[in-house]
Structure 1
């Protein structure tokens, strides 16, 4: 018997698939017509139904932690996000846009490019689907420790050119997530997951 507390992979039969948007970037939008398993079109009155799918290669994030003056501090950024209509507190993150690349390597690259840090210790924290009802996007979150500043020569563009890097005590970050001052999904999930692990260690 399969584990009732585990997700199970698999796809219902796709009758047809139509691209609504696809270009040279990493995200596409398509419309699929699907049937439940074992129900052919017209069987018992069943008709295929449509679902929109945002294709996304996934993203990797780094919860970068350094102990300063005896307190765990987290490296955070503030970045404008047009779809969300505001500037959000986030952790360093980036799209897994290199085919075949291990997500932890993506997280390492983004930590260097966004906040000019490298870490000697990497630990997988959690993997989630942020919006499984419409997107194939997967988030891979890692804890990064043993931090040091590096020169990268990376030239940021667009919103990234205006992001602000800052540090905050982990306990303050947790409080901000719990009381709703910070609402961006990945930073909230990473913070809560890390808090659970720390409470059980």
Structure 2
């Protein structure tokens, strides 16, 4: 029985492709501090539809591994879901023109008081493509050292109560599969790290690997 993955004996590549439809109209419904709620009028060739979505600058997350193959997770309150979630260090790409890895390094220093010498791109994904255009890149960071005491960031708001915990990568993956961990960057990043490790880390890409999905800021 054919599973649809081969044509004439050759594997068919599964690759997302850029295929924009014509936007006939664009309206900002709500202008926010970080992201906006917008409505587009879109020509789908056979019909015209209106689609509302969050216009988002994008974000980065960091799967941090120490020499004992432990991953760093942070417990942080997330108000929309009313829960404290275990997450990797992460943050918005809200500095115009900033390379993604530079933003990730800043978040690692601010949220975990750590500096990493070795950086790779681990995995890229869209967080909620049916409802917003947020593209997120997950880095793998290793070879760690602490931020000097006199250079540490003063954490505020939700970040003030962050709890840090080192967890074995296997235990973190098990927590994801049990349904105990729900943050998308933790789910995607931890499982990607386990998969990459099983393949000898050969899937890792350079930290500055092309990322065309990242929203271009005006």
Q: Give the structure-2-normalised TM-score.
A: 0.82
Q: Cα offset for 1:4?
A: 5.0
Q: Name whichever of 151-160 and 133-142 sits farther off.
A: 151-160
Structure 2: distance between partners of 1:193 and 1:153: 30
- Aligned partner of 1:189 in structure 2 is 188
Q: Cα offset for 1:10?
A: 3.2
- Aligned partner of 1:53 in structure 2 is 53
- Alignment of 1:30 onto 2:27: no
Structure 1: distance between partners of 2:43 and 2:30: 23
SS of structure 2 residue aligned to 1:63: strand
Deviating above 3 A after TM superposition, structure 1's stretches of 4 or more consecutive aligned residues are: none
Q: Please list the CA deviations of residues 163-201 of structure 1 after superposition, one character each: whole Å capped at 9, or x if unmatched.
A: 111111111111101111111111110011111111122
- What pairs with 1:10-159 in structure 2 (closer than 5 Å)? 10-23=19-32, 25-37=33-45, 39=46, 46=47, 48-67=48-67, 71-151=68-148, 152-159=151-158
Structure 2: distance between partners of 1:66 and 1:4: 34
Would you say how many aligned residue pairs link Structure 1 and Structure 2?
187
Gapped regions of structure 2 (runs ≥ 5): 1-11, 201-218
- Aligned partner of 1:8 in structure 2 is 17
SS of structure 2 residue aligned to 1:49: strand
Q: Please list the CA deviations of residues 121-167 of structure 1 after superposition, one character each: whole Å capped at 9, or x if unmatched.
A: 00110110011111110111111000011133312221111111111
* RMSD over aligned Cα atoms: 1.3
